[in-house]
Chains A and B, each alone.
Chain A
Amino acid sequence: MSTVKVPIGPQHPALKEPINFTIEIEGEQVVDAKVRIGYNHRGIEKACELRTYVRDIYLLERVCGICSHSHTTTFTQGVEELLDEDVPRRGLYIRTIVCELERLHSHMLWLGVAGHEIGFDTLLHYTWRDRELVMDFLEMISGNRVNYAMNTIGGVRRDISKDLIPTLKKGMDTFRERCEYYLKLCSEEPTVLERTQGVGVLPTHMARKLGAVGPTVRASAVDMDCRKDDPCAAYDEVPFEVCTWDSCDVFARVAVRILEMIQSCNMIQWMLDHLPKDEIRLKLKRRVPEGEVLSRYEAPRGELIHYIKSNGTDKPERVKVRTPTLANWPSVEYMLKGCYIADVPIIVASIDPCISCTDRVTFVDVEKEKTWVWDSNQLRRYGIEFYKKKRW
């Protein structure tokens, strides 16, 4: 049978980072997949070189709409290291609490999206309702739902008031209960099991070879987590476990993320109980001495690094940002090979990319020179119908 090339993407005006996949199909099966990125390259690295360190914080916060705090955490701790200053512990704790709240809402959002991709919209509505709890907490702490503007060079900009602590702790109890419910639900519900078990398998040796990061690599039984390997902020003091799963499929990625949310709830409660009583920030110099630093942090999607080179002025010489999604694309290319067209949406979604790449799909039949276009909804519907029919 001759193969057919299917370009997927790239535009989706509603989301950042559009992407294009060219998948080659033979009947129902994908035989090859290629990624083309950069449709929304905004030149942030260049822009960082032209601005001062303080302005860069606000610029880098806007690299990603979901893990905005991760970027500022990585950048500010890098600059703090260049300045060779110790940030007050209360500042570090609050920074870490916001980091973990961010992880909670990011993973919860992903769980909903995964549910939606497999046609289980009840899960989407349940999880997104629960996610509002965390969004409200973030608003209570920072005044914002998305770009919290909490981090600054030398600490954080807002304190967590005493009155808020009991509310947050109680909220974490509720959230953990919900996570435990989702873990039970996902491991028993036939819709989830049928669409995720044995789908998008990334064996351990391939995950290592392709340089996968974050929950994607942890779901392939590699216990790689920057929070443990290279503790930053308050992670060296907070007790937590690195969650892994060894089935290497989409289900493993679901399980790892839910387990991580349970860990995060515990961490937030522990940090609120042990919140130090010193300052939240330190006033630091604006000029940064010459040097270079490699700053790392485990963002919700995986290892995030900033390589910052300073030249003694108030502007950086070079800021290099490597987001976790970029590291995971080669793994997606690998996972797509040999899967069904119907599984493309969930496999692409399983790495939690910052995009919806299956937005607009053009099917090109090379032999017949015929082209037809499907949008993300049609592709998703196709996937659900395919599995309905398969359930003979």
Chain B
Amino acid sequence: MSQKRPKLKPSLKEDERLKAELEKAFGDTVEVWIPRAKRMFIKVKPGDHRKVIQWMRDNWDLQHVTTISGVDKGDTFEIVYHLYKYQGYRTYPNVKTEIPKKDPKIETIVDILPSADFYERETHDLLGIVFENHPNLERLILPDDWPEGVYPLRKDWLPEGVE
């Protein structure tokens, strides 16, 4: 057995095929890139994320939401929906969208993929992003007596005693 580990370069054929399918369905409204095999990033406009996710659910039988990440980028919030497609070729599409920090609102995807429920509540709690039409956008992580309007994962919030 050779001692040097060969560089991991699996074929991107299947990923490219899925990328082509997406681009065919949505054209210029989506920007798709594949950093490596089994990873796919899809950038969409805030309103379009529902359409893309619904299309993936209907066409790829994608049901699993791994999690939702919110990133504070200064003037905007980036929301990343990490999805997991495990029917057929298994891959991990990540749908990205950006919303303004001043008006952090985005339409929920719970009605499309119910497993997004807890992750939307978590992101709402920690970053203050409002998922519109979510059936139960209540506090999940932070304590009940945590002050309203204070969001610990925003960059302008620092824990006490940290400079």
Task: State the A residues within 8 Å of B (CB).
Answer: 36-39, 41, 43, 45-47, 50, 81, 86-89, 92, 208-211, 222, 224, 229-230, 236, 274, 276-278, 293-294, 296, 303, 305, 307, 309, 317-318, 320, 322, 326-327, 329-330
Are A211 and B140 touching (Cβ within 8 A)? no
Task: State the B residues within 8 Å of A (CB).
Answer: 1, 3-5, 7-8, 35-36, 38-39, 63-67, 69, 71-72, 80, 82, 84, 86, 90, 92, 94, 114-115, 117-119, 122, 125-126, 139-143, 152-153, 158-159, 162
Are B140 and A37 touching (Cβ within 8 A)? yes
Are A330 and B1 touching (Cβ within 8 A)? no
Are B67 and A305 touching (Cβ within 8 A)? yes
A81 to B38, CA, bound (A): 14
Known: A45-B153, A211-B115, A278-B3. A230 touches B38 (CB 8 A): yes
A38-B125, A211-B66 known; 4 new pairs, CB 8 Å cut-off, are: A38-B140, A89-B5, A307-B82, A318-B72
Are A309 and B71 touching (Cβ within 8 A)? yes
Expressed in whole angstroms, the minimum distance between the Cβ of A304 and any Cβ of chain B is 10
When distances are taken between beta carbons in the complex, the residues of chain B under 8 Å from A322 are 66-67, 82, 119
Expressed in whole angstroms, the minimum distance between the Cβ of B1 and any Cβ of chain A is 7
When distances are taken between beta carbons in the complex, the residues of chain A under 8 Å from B3 are 89, 276-278
Are A46 and B153 touching (Cβ within 8 A)? yes
When distances are taken between beta carbons in the complex, the residues of chain B under 8 Å from A39 are 143
Known: A46-B159, A309-B71, A320-B69. A330 touches B117 (CB 8 A): yes
When distances are taken between beta carbons in the complex, the residues of chain A under 8 Å from B143 are 38-39
Are B92 and A46 touching (Cβ within 8 A)? no
Which of A36, A39, A320 has the most chain B CB atoms closer than 10 A to its own CB?
A320
Residue pairs across A and B with Cβ atoms less than 8 A apart, 24 shown, are A41-B141, A43-B152, A46-B153, A50-B158, A81-B36, A87-B5, A89-B4, A209-B63, A222-B86, A229-B38, A229-B90, A230-B92, A276-B3, A294-B92, A296-B92, A303-B66, A307-B67, A318-B71, A322-B66, A322-B82, A322-B119, A326-B118, A326-B122, A327-B115
When distances are taken between beta carbons in the complex, the residues of chain A under 8 Å from B39 are 294
A303 to B92, CA, bound (A): 13
Chain A residue at smallest Cβ distance from B138: A36
Expressed in whole angstroms, the minimum distance between the Cβ of B109 and any Cβ of chain A is 12
Interface residues of A: mostly helix, strand, loop or mixed?
Answer: mixed
Contact with A329, one of B5, B36, B118, B152 (Cβ below 8 angstroms): B118
A258 to B35, CA, bound (A): 37
> How many A-B pairs with Cβ below 8 Å?
97
Are A317 and B71 touching (Cβ within 8 A)? yes
When distances are taken between beta carbons in the complex, the residues of chain B under 8 Å from A86 are 5, 7-8
When distances are taken between beta carbons in the complex, the residues of chain A under 8 Å from B67 are 305, 307, 320, 322, 327
Contact with B64, one of A36, A211, A294, A320 (Cβ below 8 angstroms): A211
A305 to B118, CA, bound (A): 16
A278 to B5, CA, bound (A): 10
Are B118 and A330 touching (Cβ within 8 A)? yes
Are A38 and B142 touching (Cβ within 8 A)? yes
Are A210 and B5 touching (Cβ within 8 A)? no
Are B5 and A307 touching (Cβ within 8 A)? no
When distances are taken between beta carbons in the complex, the residues of chain B under 8 Å from A303 are 66, 84
A322 to B92, CA, bound (A): 15
A87 to B1, CA, bound (A): 17
Expressed in whole angstroms, the minimum distance between the Cβ of A198 and any Cβ of chain B is 25
Expressed in whole angstroms, the minimum distance between the Cβ of B163 and any Cβ of chain A is 10
Chain B residue at smallest Cβ distance from A36: B140
When distances are taken between beta carbons in the complex, the residues of chain B under 8 Å from A41 are 141-142
A296 to B67, CA, bound (A): 12
When distances are taken between beta carbons in the complex, the residues of chain A under 8 Å from B117 are 330
Are B71 and A330 touching (Cβ within 8 A)? no
Q: 6 tightest CB-CB pairs across the interface, nearest first?
A: A211-B115, A38-B141, A322-B67, A320-B69, A229-B90, A89-B5
When distances are taken between beta carbons in the complex, the residues of chain A under 8 Å from B125 are 38
Contact with B159, one of A43, A274, A293, A307 (Cβ below 8 angstroms): A43
When distances are taken between beta carbons in the complex, the residues of chain A under 8 Å from B4 are 89, 278
Expressed in whole angstroms, the minimum distance between the Cβ of B136 and any Cβ of chain A is 9
A126 to B102, CA, bound (A): 58
A143 to B115, CA, bound (A): 40
Are B63 and A294 touching (Cβ within 8 A)? no
A309 to B73, CA, bound (A): 11
When distances are taken between beta carbons in the complex, the residues of chain A under 8 Å from B114 are 209-211, 330
A316 to B67, CA, bound (A): 19
Are A224 and B86 touching (Cβ within 8 A)? yes
Expressed in whole angstroms, the minimum distance between the Cβ of B11 and any Cβ of chain A is 14
When distances are taken between beta carbons in the complex, the residues of chain A under 8 Å from B118 are 326-327, 329-330
Chain B residue at smallest Cβ distance from A228: B90
Expressed in whole angstroms, the minimum distance between the Cβ of B36 and any Cβ of chain A is 8
A39 to B142, CA, bound (A): 8
Expressed in whole angstroms, the minimum distance between the Cβ of A67 and any Cβ of chain B is 17
A37 to B64, CA, bound (A): 21
Chain B residue at smallest Cβ distance from A41: B141
When distances are taken between beta carbons in the complex, the residues of chain A under 8 Å from B162 are 50
A322 to B84, CA, bound (A): 14
